[in-house]
């Protein structure tokens, strides 16, 4: 069963995009919740770029491929698959540019603070969670996996485990072409904001709003990492992007990572953006630092097996989180 | 819950491909079945080309995209979607060339007779079905939709309703290129049987084994509809294929079709094989004959929304079948 | 050297599309022509769908791939390749729908009569041709090959040889999907004329204007071979299309074909429209009738080797045509 | 007319790949050469990766698209296009891994020295060139453009002009993915040399043999820039690759570049490898340094307009080179 609320967040208020500070919040309670008074461990599902929490719960129906409602993905986890029951929380991280990437930005909003302080507090207050970090995990796919990494590796006192699924990573190899694709799409015009229906324009402004925001630079409030028309990579801006990259910031977060109960890295070995290389490299760095973790690959492309990986991540989390 | 049996069929015995006559049979009983003694309407799910019943129940896990177990598709129908409970039967129609197309052939086996006389009898004998045609429907996707058409339009005394999903149809427009693609794939060699991993070879021999079998012609026992190397269409053989095409044989089955309680045609408007044109044409012919039916289209490509359409078909069948 | 003229044609005047009756005509005279007073055999190069004579001579320069000026294709034939000199004539067969297909139509214009009576007469009158059929051949690629077939197989007293390169052919297998692709592109709207930039709309109206014109049916003056929205193939209209198909009309033109000095069929074995099947079938029918011809295949796709095949066709024509 | 010789090179002898030190050399002499005793400026055409000099002169005939003999490309330059006559030299730069990249390597051979000292000396000795740098230019497409850059920017006393066509450049953005694609193609196996028919394996070993050769490391004698299986970029090796990149080494060659009579940069704006970005960036750096140059773009993809650009480059060179 899924319970819908609206949550006002002071950490999202005043974002420069003018996006709403009141957001949907969906809480899935497992079979048996209602008839019991016990407390449950909690898993936070962070959605991907281009989604809303509502679309996770009830996907759009206009695509060539079907995506089932999240309830049909979660019910079998705690039914057919026999995973001990958990509460699953689906917060909203959408921005008008696509996604807040679950990080703090004066432009898109402080999504990290919003999850840490608004969402977690609200859920613990309103549902029978086991309200401490040992029973609280975070997981997500693509930008959601990126968000899971960021939240847990920076806040082990809040989330003791993360399942990082096909996360944006190794940007210097996997994402550097994107600003160039964007410039190609509008060439020879100069950048002038995201254009509806132009994917590259939207994702580049989205990343820039999260990784290299610049409140002094209206109307889009971002620094772009590539100069127009020269094509020069602006290293200072690109380094700001890279500072969010798990394969880069892992080195600065080793102490935090050692505090976690579990780290799962999982990627499709046919990922369209080659994100499995980011995961391999991240696993390599964790190994170098002697930090235990699971590193899995599946035969999926980017997205094709996301729901199955959500199920698998919950199964893994149930083994890592304290149930009381 | 799914109950597995093995069913020996005299109608499959002696097929010239040497395929087994004992087949898997899966019966899904809806929530509440076990605690009751009531009888349920029954829907027969015919699978597509290239599948087995077992793969429907437990799909292969090696693909770039995930397919959920059929149980996770059916449970929400009778749960979240609120459809009155039905029994869903999944017989096996696989052949070593891909699929028996749910028709009678001395080469692949008499799959129509097998469903009509072995499967239905067995299910009615072993489960609490409402054992008559008014409570018995058939549905399927692609070759399974083709099978649904064939079974119900020829045997209205067994199946009173059919949901035809993205059925092979209008072969003269949608399938004529296939034997040529096959010849291309082996050119300039002459046809010499299906080749593993060569899709066009497999599907052409599969169709031929079902539509233009020739027991006098070992080792493959088929007539192919295109001459090698001239490329001439052998009209006599092609006409045998067309006789199985719903848009052709509809004209000869109008009396049967009038006896049905319901006909649903549904296809994706982005079907990779343009099968929506077959469905439109079939609907046109039904309209010309004054035969009521539902004609739906969805935004899917071939296969991308198959499971959702299975759910929709069950919802529709529940309204058409007598529940007692 | 290429000499440009403008040619007014009474056979194009009054076409219902309002296309001009005055057309470009380009005549290539081989090296040595100017310093001599001898007469030369003549080859008529018919261009493809979507082209003009001017574009053959001086191709557009805005494509991702380069096409050289026709002079750079022809000079090496009579230089490096050592082919005896010929005059090469490039008439214009464009229509506002793409191409007149080199056939007579009240809608697009009587292109067959125009070539036979205007172009040939003009060229013979103004250049030192050997002015008789034994020294006159016709060749072309795609719709130009289709035109070559049509002109020579109907008028052996004008053209004694044809090189048919990747001709439209076997329409029942290779072209039947096209009207459906067109309907797909505008679905669910009803046909309402060619739409600029919509390839399928343009080519379908083009074919219809040539093969199934209907002067009684303004504003487009065509019968389309597929009904909207039923998708039914209108057999009577489709048969009119098929009557222009070489693999169909070959049977009625055997006497004419026997009069020819040479027939060359050549297609790319990777043709995007599978036209090699049309050529194979045409060759098969010619063989059945005991009509000698050359049947060649090359490794090209549709268009990729067109200029090389033009060169090869001229080399072949030089061996077939009388040089005096 | 093209004159073929075989040229033995001490600079290629002893290469660790065991490739021949005797190479084809083709010299195109323009129309009028034979009947005159004048001297001509000379343009050196460096071929692309995967080619041989012989294939430039007489391309393979087994492709889906046709490539004309180089003579048919050059003759119109000095005929139809009216460019003053030049000698065009086509040396061979092939290696068993694809191409020597026209640089010095102990593994593939010292191709820079070979061109500078063997080819130029031989051509000046055997043909009526104007034998000095003011009348000597170099041009090429893709790896040939890369070679043109390298030769002229390092040796302005030999070549006074270069036409750089779609050169490998900005490797950090355009080529970094290639070693990863290679690892993908053999995953999870470890690198074990180039594999015939595996493009990524061949080009990665080719680049490594040229940019990061390691004679101490049999049997392939290269350092690869990516570690297996971690995926870590080995920055020291990658920096060796980058040192060959025009957008990197331009900064160290400004004095040389100022000595040149002309620099032409030309790329297709639809280049499949986005090399237009390398050219734009290179032009930007030249502008920053106040070095005059031409910067052109054409609508081509990678390769689609290469022959036309060869013609254009010769036209440009004829204006830059001294004719006596």
What share of chain C in percent tops pLDDT 90? 99
- Please name the residues in contact with D138: beta carbons below 8 A apart, sequence gap of 6 or more: D43, D44, D46, D147, D148, D151, D152, D159, D161, D162, D163
Which residues on D lie below 8 Å from C79 (Cβ)? 75
Closest residue on chain C to D2 (Cα): C80
* C-beta of residue B117 within 8 angstroms of C-beta of residue B57: no
Count of alpha carbons within 13 angstroms of residue A42, beta-carbon side: 28
Q: In the structure encoding, which two tokens stand for residue D20, read together?
A: 């021949």
Count residue pairs from A and B with Cβ separation < 8 A.
72
- Please name the residues in contact with A199: beta carbons below 8 A apart, sequence gap of 6 or more: none
Strands (E), chain A: 2-8, 22-28, 42-46, 87-91, 104-105, 109-110, 136-141, 161-165, 262-270, 294-301
Q: Using CB atoms, which residue from B68, B79, B299 is nearest to A62?
A: B299
Beta bridge partners of B298: B268
Closest residue on chain D to A277 (Cα): D231
Mean of the per-residue pLDDT values of chain A: 97
Nearest to C266 by CA among C320, C310, C304, C321: C310
Q: How far is Cα A108 from Cα A206, in angstroms, rounded to an integer?
A: 9
Closest residue on chain B to C247 (Cα): B232
Shortest distance between the Cα of A146 and any Cα of chain B, in A, equals 21
Q: Are strands B22-28 and D2-8 parallel, antiparallel or unpaired?
A: unpaired
Q: How far is Cα C318 from Cα C77, in angstroms, rounded to an integer?
A: 10
- Please name the residues in contact with C191: beta carbons below 8 A apart, sequence gap of 6 or more: C182, C183, C224, C228
Note the pLDDT tens digit of each residue in B99-134: 999 999 999 999 999 999 999 999 999 999 999 999
Q: In the structure encoding, which two tokens stand for residue B121, read together?
A: 């009898």
Beta bridge partners of A3: A27
Which pLDDT does position A230 carry in this prediction? 98
Q: Token match 């490739």: residue?
A: D19
* C-beta of residue B96 within 8 angstroms of C-beta of residue B17: yes
Note the pLDDT tens digit of each residue in B21-34: 999 999 999 999 99
Cross-chain Cβ contact A75/B71 below 8 Å: no
Interface predicted TM-score (ipTM) of this complex, two decimals? 0.95
| The Cα angle at residue A121 between residues A115 and A122, in degrees rounded to 5 | 95
CA–CA distance from B204 to each of B97, B220, C98, C140 (Å)? 9, 12, 36, 35
**Which residue numbers of D have CB closer than 8 Å to A's CBs?**
170, 172-173, 176-177, 180, 184, 187, 229-233, 269, 274, 277, 280-281, 284
Note the pLDDT tens digit of each residue in B265-308: 999 999 999 999 999 999 999 999 999 999 999 999 999 999 99
Q: Do chains B and C touch (3 or more CB pairs under 8 A)?
A: yes
Which residues on A lie below 8 Å from B267 (Cβ)? none
Which pLDDT does position C281 carry in this prediction? 98
- Please name the residues in contact with B190: beta carbons below 8 A apart, sequence gap of 6 or more: B228, B229
Q: Token match 């959500």: residue?
A: A310
Which pTM value belongs to this model?
A: 0.96
Three-state helix/strand/coil letters over B182-199:
HHHHHCCCCCCCCCCCCH
Mean of the per-residue pLDDT values of chain B: 97
Closest residue on chain B to C178 (Cα): B173
Neighbours of chain D (3+ CB pairs under 8 A): A, C
Cross-chain Cβ contact D64/C307 below 8 Å: no
Mean pLDDT of C296-317: 97
Cross-chain Cβ contact B71/A68 below 8 Å: no
- Please name the residues in contact with B180: beta carbons below 8 A apart, sequence gap of 6 or more: B226, B231, C173, C274, C277
pLDDT along chain A (324 residues), means of 10: 97 97 98 95 98 97 96 97 98 96 98 98 98 98 98 98 98 98 98 96 98 97 98 98 98 98 98 98 98 98 96 98 92
Cross-chain Cβ contact A299/B61 below 8 Å: yes
In chain D, the N- to C-terminal Cα span, in Å, equals: 22
- Please name the residues in contact with A76: beta carbons below 8 A apart, sequence gap of 6 or more: A311, B68, B69, B71, B72, B75
**Which residue numbers of B have CB closer than 8 Å to C's CBs?**
170, 172-173, 176-177, 180, 184, 187, 229-233, 269, 274, 277, 280-281, 284
Q: What is the DSSP letter of A222?
A: B
C324 pLDDT more than 90 = no
Which pLDDT does position D324 carry in this prediction? 84
Cross-chain Cβ contact D299/C63 below 8 Å: yes
Three-state helix/strand/coil letters over chain C:
CEEEEEEECCCCCCCCCCCCCEEEEEEECCCCCCCCCCCECEEEEECCCCCCHHHHHCCCCCCCCCCCCHHHHHHHHHCCCCCCCCEEEEECCCCCCCCCCCCEECCCEEHHHHHHHHHHHHHHHHCCECCCHHHEEEEEECHHHHHHHHHHHHCCCCCCEEEEECCCCCHHHHCCHHHHHHHHHHCCCCCCCCCCCCHHHHHHHHHHHHHCECCCCCCCCECCCECCCCCCECHHHHHHHHCCCHHHHHHHCHHHHHCCCEEEEEEEEECCCCHHHHHHHHHHHHHHCCCCCEEEEEEEECCCCHHHHHHHHHHHHHHHCCCC
Choose the mutation target among B28, B60, B65 for the interface with A, i.e. most A CBs under 10 Å: B65
DSSP 3-state assignment of A322? coil
Q: Do chains C and D touch (3 or more CB pairs under 8 A)?
A: yes
Q: How far is Cα B225 from Cα B235, in angstroms, rounded to an integer?
A: 7
* Residue A100 backbone dihedrals phi, psi, to 5 degrees: -75, 0
Q: Do chains B and D touch (3 or more CB pairs under 8 A)?
A: no
Closest residue on chain D to C310 (Cα): D66
Choose the mutation target among A64, A298, A309, A312 for the interface with B, i.e. most B CBs under 10 Å: A64
Note the pLDDT tens digit of each residue in B134-149: 999 999 999 999 999 9
Q: What is the DSSP letter of A16?
A: T
User: What pLDDT band is residue B324 in, cutting at 50, 70 and 90?
Assistant: confident
Cis before D229? omega within 30: yes
Q: Using CB atoms, which residue from A177, A232, A274 is nearest to D180?
A: A274
DSSP 3-state assignment of B29? coil
Cross-chain Cβ contact D270/C64 below 8 Å: yes
Which residues on B lie below 8 Å from A305 (Cβ)? 64-66
Q: How far is Cα C34 from Cα C19, in angstroms, rounded to an integer?
A: 35
Cross-chain Cβ contact A305/B66 below 8 Å: yes
Closest residue on chain D to A286 (Cα): D230
Q: How many residues does chain C have?
A: 324
Cross-chain Cβ contact B176/C180 below 8 Å: no
Q: Using CB atoms, which residue from A231, A232, A281 is nearest to D232?
A: A281
Cross-chain Cβ contact B304/A63 below 8 Å: yes
Closest residue on chain B to A271 (Cα): B64
- C147, C150, C156, C157 alpha-carbon torsion, rounded to 10°: -70
* C-beta of residue C191 within 8 angstroms of C-beta of residue C182: yes
Closest residue on chain C to D307 (Cα): C66
pLDDT digit string (tens) for chain D, length 324 residues: 999 999 999 999 999 999 999 999 999 999 999 999 999 999 999 999 999 999 999 999 999 999 999 999 999 999 999 999 999 999 999 999 999 999 999 999 999 999 999 999 999 999 999 999 999 999 999 999 999 999 999 999 999 999 999 999 999 999 999 999 999 999 999 999 999 999 999 999 999 999 999 999 999 999 999 999 999 999 999 999 999 999 999 999 999 999 999 999 999 999 999 999 999 999 999 999 999 999 999 999 999 999 999 999 999 999 999 998
């Amino acid at each position: 069963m899924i319970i819908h609320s609206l949550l006002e967040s002071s950490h999202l208020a005043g974002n420069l995009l003018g996006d709403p500070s009141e957001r949907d919040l969906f809480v899935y309670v497992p079979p048996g919740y209602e008839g019991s008074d016990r407390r449950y461990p909690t898993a936070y599902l962070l959605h991907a770029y281009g989604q809303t929490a509502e679309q996770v719960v009830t996907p759009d129906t206009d695509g060539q491929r079907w995506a089932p409602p999240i309830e049909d993905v979660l019910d079998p986890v705690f039914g057919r698959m026999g995973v001990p029951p958990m509460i699953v929380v689906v917060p909203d991280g959408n921005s008008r540019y696509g996604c807040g990437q679950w990080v703090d930005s004066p432009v898109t909003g402080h999504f990290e603070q919003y999850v840490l302080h608004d969402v977690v507090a609200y859920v613990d207050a309103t549902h029978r969670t086991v309200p401490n970090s040992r029973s609280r995990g975070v997981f997500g796919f693509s930008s959601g996996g990126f968000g899971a990494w960021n939240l847990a590796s920076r806040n082990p006192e809040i989330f003791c485990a993360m399942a990082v699924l096909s996360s944006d990573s190794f940007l210097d190899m996997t994402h550097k072409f994107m600003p160039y694709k964007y410039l190609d799409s509008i060439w020879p015009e100069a950048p002038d904001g995201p254009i509806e229906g132009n994917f590259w324009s939207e994702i580049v402004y989205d990343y820039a709003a999260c990784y290299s925001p610049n409140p002094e630079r209206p109307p889009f409030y971002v620094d772009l990492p590539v100069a127009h028309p020269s094509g020069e990579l602006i290293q200072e801006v690109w380094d700001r992007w890279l500072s969010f990259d798990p394969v880069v910031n892992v080195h600065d977060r080793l102490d935090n990572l050692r505090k976690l109960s579990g780290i799962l890295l999982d990627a499709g070995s046919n990922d369209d953006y080659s994100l499995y290389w980011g995961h391999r490299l991240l696993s390599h760095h964790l190994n170098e630092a002697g930090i235990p973790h699971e590193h899995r690959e599946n035969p999926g492309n980017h997205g094709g097996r996301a729901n199955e990986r959500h199920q698998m991540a919950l199964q893994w989390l149930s083994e890592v989180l304290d149930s009381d």
